[in-house]
Amino acid sequence: MSITHQKAQEIFENHPTRFTGKEKSALRATLRAELNKMGYSDDEITEIKASGTNLLVGDPHAEYMFTAHYDTPGRTGWMLKTASLWGQTGANVFLIMIMCLLGMAVPIASSFIVPDVSGSGMFWLGELAVLLILVIMIISMVIKNKNNRNDNTSGVLALLAMAEKVTADQEMRKKSCFVFFDNEEWGLLGSGGFAGYCKKNGIDLSGTKVINFDCVGCGDVLTFASTKNTEISGALTKAFDEAGQKPVRKRSAMIFLSDHANFNNSVMVSYTKKSLLGLLYLPLIHTSKDIPCDVEQINRLTDDVFTFAKEGKI
């Protein structure tokens, strides 16, 4: 019970972007059809409209909640251009440094061109330089990225693989639910809306084990990230460690931040690469080069997660 290359290719070709409402609706229809084929009835599939349209499969009171975001990002990959040198954190720090340097350099340079520029004039020139970068950042966010196989078609495929494994096992089916989140790329809005929906409707998720698949199709370092040292993060790390896979455990802050951050006992599962300086980064995301997606890697990962959950190791 794995995702076939043919099925992955169909999603790659038919749903390369999920940026507009129409594109997202088309993917949800495909997901419904695939889930129906697996044996999930329409009654088990619910669209939760909360800061986007989140697709819930199963009972949210379940012990395990497997998640992934299905929306795709804008063309902001240029902000992470230097990640392959000094990692994801380094790329963000570098961008901030460039903004600060421009803020200082533009007015200084202007003072040589226009010697009589006032102090306040120099200050506003610096502010305009920083504002220009911010405008470029905002514009790039609203131009959809054309290739998104790692971020996060890979997570969608992982969730489908998990759903198929679970539906064939009655015990795990009772213990599991799945959520395809919307609007992760806009500040984790979909998962935040879903968490709010559950709270409003008396669904207690404080003890739910949330395993979030994000960017699992490209990279060679299995990485688990959480906003704090959660129980599920520790258990998952131990299980994979004992299986000889040596995962890396990280803290989510500005980096490795995904939908798991909106839940108490949660972890983000991803594959990263080491930069030239040995620091981790998520490869190719938010760029037109986000094309590689190792389907077999996704199948191996979900096989392991399913097995560890079934054996009670996580």
Structural domain for 184, as ranges: 5-75+146-310
Range of lowest pLDDT (67-81, 124-138, 161-175, 261-275): 124-138
pTM above 0.75, yes or no: yes
What mean pLDDT is predicted for residues 58-74? 97
> Is there a contact between 109 and 94 (Cβ–Cβ < 8 Å)?
no
pLDDT at 122: 54
Q: Which amino acid is at 273?
A: K
Task: Determine, yes or no, domain membership for 83.
Answer: no
What mean pLDDT is predicted for residues 64-85? 94
One domain, residues 39 and 164 = yes
CA 88 – CA 124 distance, rounded (Å): 31
pLDDT at 128: 72
Task: Determine, yes or no, domain membership for 197.
Answer: yes
Q: What angle do CA 273, 277, 283 make, to 5 degrees?
A: 25
One domain, residues 212 and 289 = yes
Percent of the chain with pLDDT over 70: 91
Q: pLDDT tens digit string along 221-266?
A: 999 999 999 999 999 999 999 999 999 999 987 778 999 999 999 9
Across the chain, mean pLDDT equals 91
Task: Determine, yes or no, domain membership for 176.
Answer: yes
One domain, residues 235 and 96 = no
One domain, residues 69 and 95 = no
One domain, residues 60 and 15 = yes
One domain, residues 132 and 263 = no
Give the pairing type, strands 209-213 and 64-69. Answer: parallel
**Structural domains of the chain, count:** 2
Task: Determine, yes or no, domain membership for 33.
Answer: yes
Q: pLDDT tens digit string along 82-120?
A: 999 988 888 888 887 877 776 665 555 555 555 555 455
CA 63 – CA 82 distance, rounded (Å): 40
CATH number at residue 24: 3.40.630.10
Confidence of residue 57 (pLDDT cuts 50, 70, 90): very high
Phi and psi, residue 64, nearest 5° = -110, 130
Task: Determine, yes or no, domain membership for 251.
Answer: yes
What mean pLDDT is predicted for residues 205-220? 96
The four Cα atoms 104, 109, 110, 113 give a dihedral, to 10 degrees, of 170
Say if residue 124's pLDDT is above 70: no
One domain, residues 101 and 195 = no
Q: Is 175 exposed, middle or buried (0-12, 13-18, 19+ CB in 10 A)?
A: middle
One domain, residues 28 and 169 = yes
What mean pLDDT is predicted for residues 11-15? 98
CA 211 – CA 65 distance, rounded (Å): 6
Count the Cβ atoms, other than its own, within 10 Å of residue 182: 29
One domain, residues 116 and 254 = no
Task: Determine, yes or no, domain membership for 154.
Answer: yes
Residue where a domain terminates, one of 100, 118, 141: 141
Query: Which residues pair with residue 274 across a beta bridge?
Result: 280
Task: Determine, yes or no, domain membership for 82.
Answer: no
What mean pLDDT is predicted for residues 116-129? 57
CA-based torsion, 53, 184, 147, 270: positive or negative:
negative
One domain, residues 182 and 267 = yes
Residue that is written with structure tokens 């790659």 in the block: 12
One domain, residues 118 and 266 = no
What mean pLDDT is predicted for residues 34-52? 97
Residue that is written with structure tokens 């699992």 in the block: 216
> Is there a contact between 308 and 224 (Cβ–Cβ < 8 Å)?
no
One domain, residues 68 and 100 = no
Phi and psi, residue 270, nearest 5° = -150, 170
Residue where a domain terminates, one of 125, 141, 157: 141
Phi and psi, residue 39, nearest 5° = 115, 5
Say if residue 54's pLDDT is above 90: yes
CA 220 – CA 126 distance, rounded (Å): 41
Task: Determine, yes or no, domain membership for 289.
Answer: yes
Say if residue 182's pLDDT is above 70: yes
What mean pLDDT is predicted for residues 53-58? 98
> Is there a contact between 146 and 277 (Cβ–Cβ < 8 Å)?
no
Residue that is written with structure tokens 């520790």 in the block: 234
pLDDT at 290: 98
Range of lowest pLDDT (16-25, 106-115, 259-268, 271-280): 106-115
CA 159 – CA 148 distance, rounded (Å): 16
Query: Which residues pair with residue 267 across a beta bridge?
Result: 211
Count the Cβ atoms, other than its own, within 10 Å of residue 207: 9
CB-based contacts of 13-19 (< 8 A; 24+ apart in sequence): 15/153, 16/146, 16/147, 16/148, 17/72, 17/144, 17/145, 17/146, 17/148, 18/70, 18/71, 18/72, 18/148, 19/71, 19/72, 19/74, 19/144, 19/145
